[in-house]
Structure 1
Amino acid sequence: MTETSQLDTVSRAETSPDTPQPFAELGMKDDEYARVRTILGRRPTSAELAIYSVMWSEHCSYKSSKTHLRQFGAKAPHSDALLVGMGENAGVVDVGDGYAVTFKIESHNHPSYVEPHQGAATGVGGIVRDILTMGARPVAVMDALRFGPAEAADTHRVLPGVVSGISFYGNCLGLPNIGGELGFDPGYSANPLVNALCVGVMRHDGIKLAQAPGPGNKVVLFGATTGPDGIGGASVLASANFDAESHAKRPSVQVGDPFLEKLLIECSLELFERDLVVGIQDLGAAGVSCATTELAAGGTGGMRIALDRVPLRDPRLTPEEILMSESQERMMAVVEPGKLEAFLDTCAKWDILATVIGEVTEVTGEEDQRGGRLVMTWHGETVVDLPPRTASDEGPVYERPYHKPADQDALQTDTPARLARPVSDAELREQVLTVVGSPGICDAGWVTEQYDRYVLGNTVLATPHDSGVIRVADTGDRGVALATDGNGRYTRLDPYAGTQLAYAEAYRNVAATGARPLAVTNCLNFGSPEDPGVMWQFAEATRGLADACQELGTPVTGGNVSFYNQTGATAIHPTPVIGVLGVIDDVNTRLTSAFPAATEGASIVLLGETREELGGSAWASVIHDHLGGQPPRVDLAAEAALARVLGEAAATGLAAAAHDLSDGGLAVALAESALRGGVGCAVQVAGDAVTALFSESAARALVVVHPGSEAALTELCDRHGVPATAIGTVGGTAVRITHPAGSVDLPLPELRATYEAALPAALDAV
C-alpha cells in the first residue's frame, strides 16, 4: 500500500509544478499533456495522469477517428426501430412483440496476439458485459477472426490459443456461438484480428444507461477484486504499434474468469428486474477510470470516490494502478440509498462481492458547468480532482492528414485480365478444388466444432450457414438473424467500395435466411492513424459505410475502431468488419444454405447478374497469388431488391433453400450447398467458365425452388426487378457443372475430403 506521506496528492501537485511525469511512456503526446495542465490549472497528480492517459488513448477516445465517425450520425437514416443509438455501450433496436435486441462487435486484436487464450477469452467477456449493461440478457456470441497464412509458425502459435479462449469463455458462460468468419492472409501475420460480437434480448422497458444521476446516490463496485492484470491495456496494447518485443507486454493482458462472469450476469439481471440500479457501467478498457468518468459525465452532478475502498487482490497496488487496472468481471452501479440494502443482499445471494466506494455529489454554485467534479481520495488524501467530462467526452480530436497511398493507382491498374485461364476441363476442375480447399473458404469445423452452438435451446440456425438465427424468447417464433462480413482484399483495392461490399454481403447473408435487415454494428480494423495512407483508407471506408447505410435505411448503432494494427511499418489490409442484424417474424420459415435432399429434382435458380469481376477474388488470390484491379461493382438498389425477394420467397414457402454468392463465386456456393445437404446437383452455365464459376459479382444468391413454385418465383423476381436464371436441379452424388466448352464433375466424397481436410492439414491438427 502506498504510504500517505508519499502520495502524489492534489495539494502536492499544486506546489510542485516541475515534477517530471512519465506521460510519454503512458502514450500521451506533449500537447496532450500540456492540455491536461491547462484544464486542471496545475500539473496532474499521478492518479489524474493515469486517468487522462487511458481515457485519451486511441482505444477509448477515438481521437483520430471521431471526426469521420460523426458521419454515421449525420447521415443516419430514420428508423422507427432504433431505441438507443451510438454513444452508449451498445445500440438497441425494437424487434416487435415488446422485445428489444442489443448487439455490438469489438476488437481484442493486440491482446490476442500477445497472449492468445486470455486475449480472446477476455474479448468475449468484455463484449458480453457491454450487452449486459444495457439491461439485456446476453443470448449469443459470434466472432470474426483473421490470421496470417494457415501454415505459418506464428499462426500455429496464435490460432489455437484464440480458439481455445473463445471456446472456453463462451462455453462456460453457456452462450451459443452462432457464426462469424475465419480468414487467412499474409497481411495479418503478427497482427491477427479477433473481433467478438454479442447479442442480448430485453423488454422495451428494461433498457439501462451509463449515467450517475441523483446527488447522494451510492456508487457500488461489484464483481471481481482488482488486481494488476491488464494495467494500461487500453494505452499500452490497443493504442500502439507492435514490434518484436510485443510478447513482453503480457502483463497488460487481462485474465478472465467466465464462471464468475456467469454469476455476475445472473446477479445483474436480478438487480435490473428488481429496479435496484439507476445507472450501470461495466469495467472494461480503462477500468475504474472509465466507469467513474463516464458515469459521472452522464449524470447530473459529480462523484466522490474512496479508492482505498476498492477490494484488491494485491494490496501493493497504488491509486494509479487501481485506476488503470483492467481486471475482468467487474461492474459499477449507481444505487439509491433506500435500495442499497436490497442491492447488497442480492449480490450476496449470488456470491458477488459488492462494495460501496463513493457517492454522487451535487454541483454547487459555479463549480463547473461541465457536470461537477470527480474527486477521489486515498486514505483521506485527495489524489484526483477533475471535471469528468474532460476525460470522458472532451478528449483531443485530431484531423489527421490523409492522402491516397502512393501505390494505389498502380494496384488498381494491375487487373486480373493478365492472369492465365485454365486450358482444359482437368485444369478447371483442379482450380475449383484448390479454391474450395483453400484456408478461409474450406470447412472451418476445426474451429467451430469447439464452440457450443445450441446451448440455451433457442438457436435456429448457426454456422456454417449464411447467418446465425435465434428465437427472441422461449415462447413465440419471432427471431433475429446476425451476420458479420469483411473482405480486406476488396478494401485494399478500393476502401469506399470494399466497405460497402462488406456491408452488402452481411446484409445479403441476413436476407438469405428470410430475415429483414434492420441495423448495423461495425469493427473497423486499420493500421496506424499517423500514416496518411491508412487515414485515407479509413476516411474512405467510413464514408462508404455511412452512405450505404443511409441508402438502405439501416442505422449504425455502435461499434469499435481498432487502429495501430501493424507490425513495424507494415499495416494489415484495411479490414472493416460489418455486422448486420435482421428480424424474422417466424423462425419456422427460415431458409438454410443446404440443398434439401428431400427436394431432389427441384430447380436451382441463380438470382442476380454475373459480370467478369475477378479483382480481389479468391480465384485471383488462391490460384495466382494476385491482388489488383477493382473489386466487384456495388449496386445497393440491387441488394435491397434481392433481399425483398429472398424474404418474400421464405415467408410464402416458395424457396426450399438459399445461399448467397461471395468468396469463390458460384463454384464455392454450389459446393457448400451440396456438402451441407449431402446431395449433389447438375447445373449449366453460359459464357466464359472462369467468369461463370469464380466471379464475385455482388447482389447474387442461389435459390432452390419448391417444385410447382417456379412460376411464382419468376413473377416475384420480375416484380422486384431481380434477374433470375434457372441453372439446374438438385440431385445425384456429385456437383456436375456444364459450360459451353465442356464439363466438370466433382463427386461429393472427393469434394468433402478436399473441403474438410484442408484446414486441419494446414494446421497440422488432423
Structure 2
Amino acid sequence: MAESILQAPDVDLDLALEHGLTEEEYEWILEELGRTPTFVELGIYSVMWSEHCSYKNSLALLKTLPNKGDQLLVAAGEENAGLVDIGEGLGVAFKIESHNHPSAVEPYQGAATGVGGIHRDIFTMGARPICALNSLRFGSLDEPRVRYLFDGVVRGIGDYGNSFGVPTVAGEVYFDEAYEGNPLVNAMSVGIVDTDKIASASADEAGCPVYIVGSSTGRDGIHGATFASEEISEESEEKRPSVQVGDPFQEKLLLEATLEALKEEVVAGIQDMGAAGITSSSFEMTASSGTGMDLHLDRVPVRESKMTPYEIMLSESQERMLIVCKKGREEELKAIFKKWDLNAKHVGEVTDTKRVRIFWNGDVVADLDPHHLAAGEGAPVYERETKEPTYLNETRTFDPTSIQDVTPETASDAFLTLLEAPNIASKRWVFEQYDTMVRTNTVVGPGPSDAAIVRVKGTDRGLAVKTDCNGRYVYLNPRRGAQIAVAEAARNVTCAGGKPMAITNCLNFGNPYKPEVYWTFEQAIRGMSDACTTLETPVTGGNVSLYNEHPEGAVFPTPTIGMLGVVDDVAEHSTTSAFQEDGDVLFLLSPDTWAHRDDIGGSEYLATLHGMTAGDAPYIDLEEERAVQNAMLTLIRDGIVQHAHDVSDGGLAIALAESAIHGQVGGQVDLGAVDDIRADAILFGEAQSRITFSTRANAAERVKEVLADIDGVSVRRIGEVGGANLKLTVSGSEYLDADVGAISDVYENAIPKRMNA
C-alpha cells in the first residue's frame, strides 16, 4: 500500500470510532484484513457499514416482510427500486427514500437532492420517471424555525422537480411537536419501463470497462451516509458539507443520456451514485455479481483541486452514475454522453478477482473483498434489545369521559377549529409550488382526490399513487398503527379507482440502540407485515431511516407507506373525493358490524382541541378492511360512483366537509339514531374502514345489488348532495350547518396565514 504519499492519518481504534464504527466492528475489520486498514479503506468501511448503507440494525426484521407476488418482476432489494408488472409489456419502477438529516440542517438542498436521488434510482432501472410524491413532517408552525424548514423543503422539492420536468402529484404533510428539530423528508418516484428493457445493477463480465458518467466529483456530501446514521444535535449545523448540492438541469441531461445509452444497448450494468457515492456503487455491483473491480481514482473528473482518494471515494456529489460498458461499445457510450454535454470517463475494469482495488496514480490505496462490506453478506447484522415503552402505561389509561363531549351548540366551533388545524387544512400552499401537470399525464393531481392518478401513455390504464402514515397512531400502538398506515394507503388508492398492487416504505424511527425505540420498530414491522399479507400488497423495497432524534427525544415512529395501484380504465374509473351534482345520494360504507365507534383516542380532535396524544390507535380488523375496499372498487368499476372519500383524520364530519369544499356544493346528512356513542366520536372519531361515496339518484337502488355477493360490509344511505350549506344531523339534533364558501376560506387560508405570520 502506498498510502504514505498521501499524508493520510494513522489508522487506529480512535480514528475508527470517529468514523462511526464500534470497537467490535473495528476488530472484525482487522481480522478480515490481517492488517491495519488504510485510511481509504477505513472510510469505505465506515460508510458501507453505516446504518444508512448496511441496514445492520434493521435487516433481520426487514426479511420478515412479505416480499413475493406474481406481480413482482424483481425481488425486494435486488435492484435500485421495486418493479411491478402491470401488463401489456410494461413494468412500474417505484421507490421512496428519506433525506431527513440533510433537510434538518440545509432544508432547500436537503430536500432538492432527495428528489434528485430518488429519480436516479428509477431511471437506472431503465424506467422513465412519470411522477413524484413526498411525505413531510415538521414541528409546530408556531415556531419560526419550523416555518423556515417548511418553506425551504417545499421550495427545494418544487424547484428541483419542476426544473427536472417530472410532475409532483401527491403527498402528505403533518405537523407535530414530536418532529421539532428533526423533520422528516421522504421522496418517492414512479417510472414506466418496457419489461424487456429493464436495466440491472450488475457487473457480471470480467474485462468490461467501467465509466463514471454525469457530473464532476466535488467535496459535497462526504460522509453523508454516516451523517444520516447518527442523531441530530447542536453540532449538526457544522456538518453542512455532508449535505449534497443538486443541479436538476444536469440531472435532466443525465436522464436522457442514460435512457439513450440503455436503448442503444451499450450498457452491461448501471448503478446510481447515491449514499457513499463511488464506494457504494462499485462495491454493491461487484458483491451482487460475484466479481471484482479495479478503479483508478486519478482518472475521475473532479471540480475541486487537490482532492484525495479518500474524498473521491466518499463524495456524494449528485447527478453521477457508474456504468459497466459492454466490450467494444466504449466509443458509442462516450459519444452519447458527449452529445448531452456530460462526462463519460473510463475509470476501471470489471475483474474476476472478487476484490475491489482502488488505485491512485498507479499505487493501490485500497484492496477489499466486496462481500465483506455488502449489506446482508459480510456487513454486521444485529438484533437489538427490546423493551415496551413506559409511556404506553400512561397513554393507555386515557379515559374519554374525562373529556367534555360536544353538543349541538359547541360542535360547530370544534369543527371549525379542526378544519383550520394544519394537519387537516388545505395543503394548496405546498402543492401550488409544484408543477403537477408537466408531461400531460396527470389525470387527477393533488387536492381533490384521495390518491393521484397518472395516465400510462399508449394504454387505457393509469396508476393510482399515494403516500400515507399517521405517526400518532404508531406512537400509541406501533403494530396497529402500522397496519393502519398500509390499510389507509390502500384505501386511498381504492377510492381513486385503483386496485392496490404493492408498496414501498420509508421507515423513520429513532435510535435503534434504545430498547424502547427498537421495540416500537419491531412491532411496526409486524403490523406492516400483517396488513400487506391480508391486502396482498407485497413490499418491493424502500428505505430505513433511523436516529431521527433531537434533544427532546425521538420523533413519532413513522413508517411511511408508498402505495401503488392500477386503474384499469382511466376514462371510466378515475374517481375524486369531490361532491359532484345536486341530488346525488350519499352513502356510508363500513364493516357490517359497525358504522361508528365510541372512541376518540389518537384522533386529531383529541390532539387539536384538547392538546392530548393519548388512548389507543383506532380499532382495525384487516379482513373487514379488505372487504370494504373490495366493495368500493366493485362499485366504482360498475360505473355508478360519483365521488368517494375515506374517513380518516378529523373523522366523518371533516371527510364530508372536504368533499363539499372540493366540489363547492353542500349536502344534507342525517345519520339517524345513534345510541350510546359520544357525539364527538361520531363526528370526529377516526374509526377505520369507512368510506363516504355518492351515486346519481337513479343509481341509488343499484348499490345493494352490486354488493349482494360481498360479505362483511354495510352500506347506509345518509343523505344527498346539494345546496350551499353542509348540514349534519345525529339522533334528530343538528350538529352542523355550515356555509360551504365560508368553510372553504377557513380550510384554504389556514396554512398561508401561519406562514405569513
Q: Give the TM-score category using the shorter length.
A: over 0.9
- Which amino acid letter does the alignment assign opposite residue 734 of structure 2? G
Please name the residue that 1:650 is paired with. 636
Structure 2 residue 657 is matched with structure 1 residue 664? no
- Which amino acid letter does the alignment assign opposite residue 680 of structure 1? G
Structure 2 residue 612 is matched with structure 1 residue 619? no
Question: Are the counterparts in 1 of residues 497 and 575 from structure 2 also a CA contact under 8 Å?
Answer: no
Partner of 2:531, secondary structure, is helix
Structure 2 residue 530 is matched with structure 1 residue 539? no
Question: Are the counterparts in 2 of residues 306 and 377 from structure 1 also a CA contact under 8 Å?
Answer: yes
1:78 CA displacement: 3.4
- Which amino acid letter does the alignment assign opposite residue 379 of structure 1? N
Question: Are the counterparts in 2 of residues 514 and 648 from structure 1 also a CA contact under 8 Å?
Answer: no
Deviations 1:256-295 (A, max 9, x none): 0000000000000101111111110000100011011011
Q: Distance in 1 between matches of 2:473 and 2:229?
A: 25
1:348 paired residue among 335, 338, 341: 338
Superposition pairs for residues 553-632 of structure 1, below 5 Å? 553-568=536-551, 570-597=553-580, 599-608=581-590, 609-632=595-618
Deviations 1:487-525 (A, max 9, x none): 111001100000000111000000001111000110010
Structure 2 residue 532 is matched with structure 1 residue 549? yes
1:590 CA displacement: 3.1
1:7 CA displacement: 3.0
Q: Distance in 2 between matches of 1:154 and 1:111?
A: 15
Q: Distance in 2 between matches of 1:595 and 1:485?
A: 20
1:753 CA displacement: 1.2
1:67 CA displacement: 1.0
1:439 paired residue among 422, 429, 442: 422
Partner of 1:646, secondary structure, is helix
Structure 2 residue 501 is matched with structure 1 residue 523? no
Please name the residue that 1:323 is paired with. 313
Question: Are the counterparts in 2 of residues 591 and 658 from structure 1 also a CA contact under 8 Å?
Answer: no
Structure 2 residue 413 is matched with structure 1 residue 430? yes
Q: Distance in 2 between matches of 1:20 and 1:191?
A: 30
1:579 CA displacement: 1.2
Question: Structure 2 unaligned runs (5+)?
Answer: none
Q: Distance in 2 between matches of 1:313 and 1:663?
A: 49
Q: Distance in 1 between matches of 2:68 and 2:48?
A: 30
Q: Distance in 2 between matches of 1:733 and 1:573?
A: 39
For structure 1, which segment, 190-199 or 648-657, has the greater mean C-alpha deviation from structure 2 after superposition? 648-657
Q: Distance in 1 between matches of 2:323 and 2:150?
A: 36
Q: Distance in 2 between matches of 1:156 and 1:202?
A: 39
Question: Structure 1 unaligned runs (5+)?
Answer: 364-371
Q: Distance in 2 between matches of 1:8 and 1:590?
A: 66
Deviations 1:738-759 (A, max 9, x none): 1223332110121011101111
Structure 2 residue 60 is matched with structure 1 residue 67? yes
Partner of 2:15, secondary structure, is coil
Question: Are the counterparts in 1 of residues 229 and 546 from structure 2 also a CA contact under 8 Å?
Answer: yes
Please name the residue that 1:44 is paired with. 37
- Which amino acid letter does the alignment assign opposite residue 572 of structure 1? V
Please name the residue that 2:123 is paired with. 132
Question: Are the counterparts in 2 of residues 681 and 729 from structure 1 also a CA contact under 8 Å?
Answer: yes
Question: Are the counterparts in 1 of residues 233 and 550 from structure 2 also a CA contact under 8 Å?
Answer: yes
- Which amino acid letter does the alignment assign opposite residue 67 of structure 1? A
Deviating beyond 6 angstroms after TM superposition, the runs of 4 or more aligned structure 1 residues are none
1:606 CA displacement: 0.5
Q: Distance in 2 between matches of 1:207 and 1:701?
A: 38
1:80 CA displacement: 3.8
Deviations 1:545-579 (A, max 9, x none): 11221122111000111100001350111111111
Structure 2 residue 224 is matched with structure 1 residue 233? yes
For structure 1, which segment, 296-305 or 159-168, has the greater mean C-alpha deviation from structure 2 after superposition? 296-305
Q: Distance in 2 between matches of 1:300 and 1:38?
A: 22
1:302 CA displacement: 0.8
Please name the residue that 1:111 is paired with. 102
Question: Are the counterparts in 2 of residues 125 and 258 from structure 1 also a CA contact under 8 Å?
Answer: yes
1:401 paired residue among 358, 375, 385: 385
Task: Provide the aligned length of Structure 1 versus Structure 2.
Answer: 744
Deviations 1:395-416 (A, max 9, x none): 1111110110122122112243
Taking a change above 3 Å as real, the CA distance of residues 516 and 280 of structure 1, as seen in their structure-2 partners, is: same
Partner of 2:329, secondary structure, is helix
Q: Distance in 1 between matches of 2:609 and 2:707?
A: 35
Structure 2 residue 181 is matched with structure 1 residue 186? no
Question: Are the counterparts in 2 of residues 595 and 704 from structure 1 also a CA contact under 8 Å?
Answer: no
Structure 2 residue 661 is matched with structure 1 residue 675? yes
Please name the residue that 2:698 is paired with. 708
Please name the residue that 1:385 is paired with. 367
Partner of 1:94, secondary structure, is strand
1:580 CA displacement: 1.0
Partner of 1:24, secondary structure, is helix
Deviations 1:77-117 (A, max 9, x none): 53344444333211100011111001111000010010000
Please name the residue that 2:622 is paired with. 636
Taking a change above 3 Å as real, the CA distance of residues 21 and 376 of structure 1, as seen in their structure-2 partners, is: farther
- Which amino acid letter does the alignment assign opposite residue 97 of structure 2? E
Deviations 1:437-471 (A, max 9, x none): 10011011111100011110111111112101111
Superposition pairs for residues 7-22 of structure 1, below 5 Å? 7=6, 22=15
1:476 paired residue among 445, 454, 459: 459
Structure 2 residue 188 is matched with structure 1 residue 197? yes
- Which amino acid letter does the alignment assign opposite residue 273 of structure 2? L
Partner of 2:266, secondary structure, is coil
Partner of 2:525, secondary structure, is helix
Question: Are the counterparts in 2 of residues 77 and 549 from structure 1 also a CA contact under 8 Å?
Answer: no
Superposition pairs for residues 354-393 of structure 1, below 5 Å? 354-363=344-353, 372-393=354-375
TM-score, scaled to structure 2 = 0.96
- Which amino acid letter does the alignment assign opposite residue 529 of structure 1? P
Taking a change above 3 Å as real, the CA distance of residues 77 and 698 of structure 1, as seen in their structure-2 partners, is: farther
Question: Are the counterparts in 2 of residues 79 and 553 from structure 1 also a CA contact under 8 Å?
Answer: no
Q: Distance in 2 between matches of 1:418 and 1:484?
A: 34
Q: Distance in 2 between matches of 1:297 and 1:506?
A: 35
- Supply the RMSD in Å over aligned alpha carbons: 1.7
- Which amino acid letter does the alignment assign opposite residue 260 of structure 1? Q
Question: Are the counterparts in 2 of residues 591 and 656 from structure 1 also a CA contact under 8 Å?
Answer: no
- Which amino acid letter does the alignment assign opposite residue 343 of structure 1? L
Q: Distance in 2 between matches of 1:710 and 1:600?
A: 14
TM-score, scaled to structure 1 = 0.95
Q: Distance in 2 between matches of 1:31 and 1:53?
A: 13
Please name the residue that 1:31 is paired with. 24
Deviations 1:132-182 (A, max 9, x none): 111100110000001001111221120100000000000001111110101
Please name the residue that 1:413 is paired with. 397
1:298 CA displacement: 1.9
Please name the residue that 1:689 is paired with. 679
Question: Are the counterparts in 1 of residues 411 and 735 from structure 2 also a CA contact under 8 Å?
Answer: no
Q: Distance in 1 between matches of 2:202 and 2:163?
A: 30
Q: Distance in 2 between matches of 1:603 and 1:20?
A: 71
Please name the residue that 1:367 is paired with. none
Taking a change above 3 Å as real, the CA distance of residues 711 and 19 of structure 1, as seen in their structure-2 partners, is: closer
Question: Are the counterparts in 2 of residues 84 and 93 from structure 1 also a CA contact under 8 Å?
Answer: no
Deviations 1:647-681 (A, max 9, x none): 22222211011111110111111111011111110
1:593 CA displacement: 3.2
Question: Are the counterparts in 1 of residues 71 and 86 from structure 2 also a CA contact under 8 Å?
Answer: no
Question: Are the counterparts in 2 of residues 191 and 572 from structure 1 also a CA contact under 8 Å?
Answer: yes
Structure 2 residue 124 is matched with structure 1 residue 142? no
Question: Are the counterparts in 2 of residues 8 and 45 from structure 1 also a CA contact under 8 Å?
Answer: no
Please name the residue that 1:368 is paired with. none
Question: Are the counterparts in 2 of residues 595 and 730 from structure 1 also a CA contact under 8 Å?
Answer: no
1:417 CA displacement: 3.5
